[in-house]
Chains A and B, each alone.
Chain A
Amino acid sequence: MVGQKNNLEFLQTCLDAGRFPRFLILTGPKGSGRKTLAKYIAKKCLHAYEIYPGMGVEAVREAIENSYRCDGTTVYVFPDADKMSSQAKNALLKVTEEPPKRAYFIMTIESMNNTLATLKSRGIEIAMEPYSKAELVEFRKPNNAMEELALNIAATPGQYLDLVAADAEKFYAFCEKVLDNIAAVTGVNAFKIGNYFKFKEDDEGYDPVLFFECVKYICAQRAKKSNSKEELVCLNETIKCTNAYSRELMMTGVRKDSTFDMWILAMRDIWKELQ
């Protein structure tokens, strides 16, 4: 377990006070270590069994039924619960309100917007903390220049691994090319950029979240070197705008391809001025 200092301190305080939350909602982007933290809580904090019941309403109901009969301390983990149906989430309402004696529930989601308000109010949210470079090095030490670049771009351990797998240098070059040409190419070609990304499960292509992370890194690097005030403004706007769309990408139910289209339009508006 790397990082998450404040979160671990909070959990320890709860343990010491004998008031460990029975229902935790771990929020953070994919690859931010939510599942690792859930495992850590089960093993190290609660010394409990972990059970992963599944997402379907039947599986959730079965887990709830079993939770009233469990002998030892048991942690029921619902990873990536953004995709959980409303029925399944509703099924959890009662048990999270008054959990059985030895049962704990942990749900991991990308954004708090992806769950029911009624469920939110029953749980304690633990937002995954950002990782420092030192923490990412602790997670995995880079062995070459490509891995060093991946380490610099990545915001989470998962992204770091994804970038290494996708060849960070090649990916960086692609992102740079997109950013350089986004205002220069015709509108038709700008929208065609979306074809390189994976927006649905069965699509093939780059992860848009990773792309946004790389764009922010490129802008930050360029801002360090830039002497032009106008360019600095554009770079700053790009980072702000990319951040906002990156958050929208995490919301379930919102079309990822339209989020990306909006980012393209916003980028063209920002960089058109400089052209």
Chain B
Amino acid sequence: MKLHELQKQIVSKKLDKVYIFTGEEIGIMDIYLDKIYSVVGCDVVRMESVQEAYAKMMQRRISGAPRCFVVRDDKEFLKQDKIWDTVFSLADKSPDYLILIYSSIDKRSKFYKQNIERLTEFEKLSPELLAKYISKELPGIKERDAYKLAEICECNYSRILLECDKIRHYAHRTQKSNGVVDFGKAMNILIEQGVIFQPIGDITFKFTDAILTRDYKNTSRYLREARLKGESEVMILSILYNGFKQILMVQGLGRDQRDAVRRTGLTPWQVKMAQEKQGHYSISELIKALKIIRFVEMGIKTGQIDADVSLEYVIVNIM
């Protein structure tokens, strides 16, 4: 079931008896759940498993008032294909409602394929849509800043609401005497201060490229970020070794680098990358770099070099 179909059902107050919700966007899912609960207007009963909910549905109550059973992540039920129809047909006939919530469901699974009509996926919203939501939460924020916030929050609606709260609070505390509130400025200050955490992207290749191209300026910054991200030293050293070796092979061809793929035995992509980065080190420096990386790699493996200082050692000795 598409999200807009669910919206229509809620607006028209003609709800199905069984819903299956899945997806990462829990914030939006919770909003829909609240709407459903308010439309249904009955007791919400949270159960551990579908089996328990089934047993409860079978029991008739004296009051006869409907209930809404909510079951989260009952993985066992996903495997019990023989009872799906029994459970769902009982719920369809019963006055009660059944809502199954799964954080993820394999799209290739039988459960997904067989129950796709009842299933609603709460995927992450697009940055465009989220930027509109942000503009509503923080009136007057520039579109560019709203997009930036959506991207920083990795399009996670719940997190956006949380960060909007922080921005609102900070902006009101620091508002000018004329009462003008600048949400964009407040957001940028909070990002700078680290109050709004900006996720570190793919830093490994930026870091190794900085070393391979002797980019002194960025190397230490990327090193710090790689450490913050907890990248494996051995993996970085391995990538660095391959990078230096490829540069050595390409640079070793001299000025005439025609037919480099055949002559080096590297792939066209590796040759292209090496050609872009060559020239920052001499051949003897490249060989020295290979020896140093290998020495450090061996040192880590044999326990002679502490992995925590290995990258610094490599940078100091190579660059």
Binding site for B on A (CB under 8 A): 113, 186-188, 191-192, 195, 248, 251, 253-255, 258-259, 261-262, 265
Q: B246 to chain A: closest CB distance in Å?
A: 10
List chain A residues, Cβ under 8 A from B252.
186-188
Which B residues lie at the A interface, using CB under 8 A?
Answer: 238, 241, 245, 248-249, 252-253, 263-265, 283, 287, 290-291, 293-294, 297-298, 301-302
Choose from A186, A192, A195, A262 the contact partner of B294 (Cβ within 8 Å).
A262
Q: Which residue of A lies closest to B293 (CB)?
A: A258
Q: Are A192 and B265 in contact (CB under 8 A)?
A: yes
A253-B301, A255-B297 known; A188-B264 Cβ under 8 A: yes
Write out the residue numbers on chain B whose beta carbons fall within 8 Å of the beta carbon of A192: 264-265
Given A188-B263, A192-B264, the answer on whether A254 and B291 have CB atoms closer than 8 Å is: no
**A260–chain B nearest beta-carbon distance, Å:** 11
A258–B238 alpha-carbon span in the complex (Å): 9
Rounded to whole angstroms, the CA-CA distance of A186 and B264 in the bound complex is 11
CA distance A258 to B298 in the complex (A): 10
Q: Which residue of chain A has its CB nearest to the CB of B287? A: A265
Residues of chain A with a CB closer than 8 A to B248's CB: 187, 191
- Chain A residues with Cβ under 8 A from B302's Cβ? 113, 251
Whether A187 contacts B283 by the Cβ 8 Å rule is yes
A136 to B289, CA, bound (A): 43
The answer to whether A191 and B241 touch across the interface, beta carbons within 8 angstroms, is no
Instruction: List 12 A–B pairs whose Cβ atoms lie within 8 Å, in order of A's numbering.
Output: A186-B252, A187-B252, A187-B283, A188-B253, A188-B263, A192-B265, A251-B301, A253-B301, A254-B298, A255-B297, A258-B241, A261-B290
Give the chain A neighbours of B245 by CB distance below 8 A.
Answer: 191, 261
Contact in complex: B294, A188 (CB < 8 Å): no
Cα A206 to Cα B285 in complex, Å, equals 30
Contact of A254 among B253, B264, B297 (CB under 8 A): B297
B141 smallest CB distance to A (angstroms): 49
A261 to B301, alpha carbons, bound, how many Å? 18
A192 CA to B302 CA in the complex, in Å? Answer: 28
Residue in contact with B238 in the complex, picked from A191, A251, A255, A265, CB distance below 8 Å: A255
Min CB distance B257 to A, Å, is 11
